[in-house]
Structure 1
């Protein structure tokens, strides 16, 4: 008869009766031949028939209980070349740190392996934090030269571009230290390792020739810029957000390839900091994932500010001659033209998940057609001991969703809970000016899902706050279920419109009706009052109502 033995370190036991309970639980597994659990030693010694059960199933039986968990498998071979952990986290960004914090609270021995970007990942190093800092710097410069009031004439601005970038670098370094490294500096159970991890099997990774084992794994390796396969692109020293944000010498000009949210935020920030900007987009409009009215509002503002917008232009070839780059493009009418870029070319054509170098073929982990790790609502993959979170997974690509996913992945893996990610009311913001914000479905998504819906769209020219500020750019759009009156979606295009979206996200999440929104109190002369007016607009023309109408 085949027999294997394991020795497990058990957490959560408070008395001998707990040990007896675990023994009885394991005895129900037909493959378990004998289980001896010691409360005083906090261990479980178990022999089993590998043809009927597995070590993973035995561990999962214990982990699925409410009070008990397997902290670590105790290796009997002291000469083993493996280092053993409860959890190995591959990656060093938001999902990874959130997972490490949760693991520490559970007393799990954890290894975090990271390579590529510094610890902290995309957000703090080359994404959210530096981009929003430069966007604010650009806004400051813009408002020093533009006024919404005829009686106020700005006198201009003196931009020290190098100092702006140096300040940005200092801020990034400070936040990386305070919000990431300092947070885990006193963790007793966390080991941090620099290097690229590669799976040998579903319980073992290799990093720089050394091998490490764990009971559970979390893959949180993030994503990187998608570099299109265009002739000559690899020979022109292009930039991405990773390299652009560290460039202290102000470029003469920028040609940005891509008009998604990354490309648009870069375009607006650098244009306002005094860089001549061109945007080439191969689809018919900017921010293609949104409805056309949003694209039109953004493109109109960007053209107004002097940004050259080229939708429906497809780059087919790049040529470098000295310091000049020639971009050959196919035009919307099928003809071809050339654009000369004397400054820099920035690639902002989406992202690709960091999954190709992990040795996933060795373990049979399922990927989507775009290379993302396929996970369910609990961040589980097709392998029971491997989870994934953040941009490497097929989930929304936001720092706050990544952090949430990292946390629930560890909880689900080690505490037996079944926490799920529900993104039906997820709020998001594009930090252009005006900002674009959304939550829930838009009208196209509601139609695709067969939901009966109605749309209310309120232009900001009918919102008293916008009128008083002499800035009526944009609109507030609400989508309701026409049968239940419940809010199912919202889209906002407005200066600081992102500050409004959270309450609409909460309204969607908790089933608030449009009538509830219309009947609520809103402070007068706030942009938030526009939500009330947009709700009223389902039944009335607010342009014909008094400011005092409710």
Structure 2
């Protein structure tokens, strides 16, 4: 079949259901191509399933803290099959709901299969070649596969395979001390697994401030997670008994071996651009395979857009969705569908770095960190507040963590904030719209937060702004 559409949408990551319904409502004929499960990483192997497990792990952990609150839970039992069932159900419901909506819409034609460019306006899917005036590439990224001697003879895990386990690991070894590795380390330690993290560097979360990595280490180690720093994995081999995998590594030049029942490799992600035959369309990528885009997520062909993880401009659901909004602002104005003022159109440079890491308590950040502030040429003020000084944290007996707020000394704009502690993943959203407004921090200082909450002292913390040296 050869058919022409207004727009071809390749991949169904998180921007899909934010933007495609708008296109369809505008009467555009859209072809949607998906080679796997609908919904992308977040729905199938990321946020939806993992945060379901985070919730289960927290419930188990809180039950075990009964002595702190004056009660006890005797003989706490873990049913791993029941623990895993909700996340499997949630992702199944989400992906089927997306597929059904798209398949049943009168203006949408769904193609199941791998997309390959024929030229800059045509794409082949299975035996069909389709074309369109505009194309959106939204194919996401995947876990990096380890390249180690012996890797082909063991059953190793990535974050996707881990979610399909039917048995609780006796000993889970995790290669990589980043966000994915740390989240799973705490989840499975709380489920009852022995957990060991291998980190190549000297600290966790190397991109964060030093004290943030130290707090993360304190939280995990206090719960029984083992961390092996300065470690380089050399090879793997089959073991015996319950710990059926041997991990051979060097630490400070000394060869060592650790036996584990399961091994998770959380060593990064690569874009799924390599399956698209981009060369046929002349679409430019960088040396890591990310599709190059401009401020309005257009590729070197203005009618082709790169949205989400595949463009390397963000690796989160919310940045993927925001990419979609940027596309919509540009495309809808181009098509005469946008009657807002041009200055309201979003661009990549308007976006502040924003993310959370969902260990418990969570780490959340928006804008710059202390490390970045110190490297900046701007005159920056910083306010800090330990979680141990916040009444709500003390009432919950969850006092590990810190708050940091960064302000431009000249413009008085808030440049960033870090909230590492209970409720931080929700609190950080307070700063995001305020930073977009570029208002003076003094306006923030006048805000009244409800009591008792973790956030109520954020305005008061600004009374102690000091110059970074």
Instruction: Give TM-score, length-normalised by structure 1.
Output: 0.79
Query: Does residue 456 of structure 1 match 2:380?
Result: no
Write the deviation string for residues 199-238 of structure 1: whole angstroms up to 9, x where unpaired.
Answer: 1111111111321111111110000001232222233121
Q: Partners of 1:403 and 1:425 in 2: how far apart?
A: 14
Q: What's the counterpart of residue 300 of structure 2?
A: 382
Contact 1:367 1:373 in 2 (8 A): yes
Choose the corresponding residue for 1:470, options 397, 401, 411.
397
**1:339 CA displacement:** 0.9
* Alpha-carbon separation, structure 1, partners of 2:441 and 2:321: 31
Superposed counterparts of 1:473-512, under 5 Å: 473-512=400-439
More helix by share: 2
The answer to whether residue 455 in structure 2 is matched with residue 536 in structure 1 is no
2:68 alignment partner, SS class: coil
Offset at 1:139? Answer: 0.5
Aligned partner of 2:25 in structure 1 is 105
Aligned counterparts of 1:279 and 1:130: Cα–Cα separation in 2: 21
1:277-356 to 2 correspondence within 5 Å?
277-321=195-239, 324-331=244-251, 333-341=252-260, 343-356=261-274
- Among 236, 244, 251, the alignment partner of 2:162 is 244
SS in structure 1 at match of 2:15: helix
How far apart, CA to CA, are the structure 2 residues paired with 1:150 and 1:420?
Answer: 49
Q: Secondary structure at the match of 2:274?
A: coil
Question: Which structure 2 residues correspond to residues 505-520 of structure 1 after superposition, within 5 A?
Answer: 505-520=432-447
Return the offset for 1:409: 1.9
The alpha-carbon deviation at position 509 of structure 1 amounts to: 1.5
The 2-side partners of 1:434 and 1:173 are apart by 28
Aligned equivalents of 1:156, 1:460: Cα separation in 2: 32
Q: Normalising to structure 2: TM-score of the pair?
A: 0.92
CA contact (8 A) 1:317 1:327 kept: yes
Q: Which shows bigger deviation, 368-377 or 417-426? A: 417-426
Check conservation: 1:368, 1:394, Cα contact below 8 A: no
* CA–CA separation in structure 1 for the residues paired with 2:235 and 2:30: 47
> Who is 1:87 aligned against?
7
CA RMSD of aligned residues (A): 2.0
Residue deviations 1:268-311 (CA, integer Å, cap 9, x gap): 11111111111111122212221111110011110010011112
Task: Tell me, yes or no, if structure 1 residue 139 matches structure 2 residue 58.
Answer: yes
Point out the more displaced range, 92-101 or 346-355. 92-101
Cα separation, 2, equivalents of 1:419 and 1:503: 20
Distance of 1:398 and 1:380 partners within structure 2? 19
Inter-CA distance 271–516: structure 2 relative to 1 (3 Å threshold): same
| SS of match in other structure, 2:253 | coil
Q: Deviations over 1:150-198 (max 9, x none)?
A: 63444352111111112221122223334x2344354211111110011
Cα distance in 2 between the residues matched to 1:369 and 1:137 = 40
CA distance in 2, matches of 1:236, 1:148: 42
Instruction: Evaluate the alpha carbon distance shift between residue 489 and residue 190 of structure 1 in structure 2; reply closer, same or farther with a 3 A threshold.
Output: same
- 1:367-400 CA-to-partner distances (Å, cap 9, x unmatched) read 1222111111211000122111011112111112
In the TM superposition, what is the alpha-carbon distance from 1:248 to its structure 2 partner?
1.9
Q: How many residues align?
A: 456
Change (3 A) 1:138 1:439: same
Contact 1:435 1:494 in 2 (8 A): yes
**Rounded Cα–Cα distance in structure 2 between residues aligned with 1:93 and 1:401:** 11
Contact 1:475/1:492 (<8 A) preserved? yes
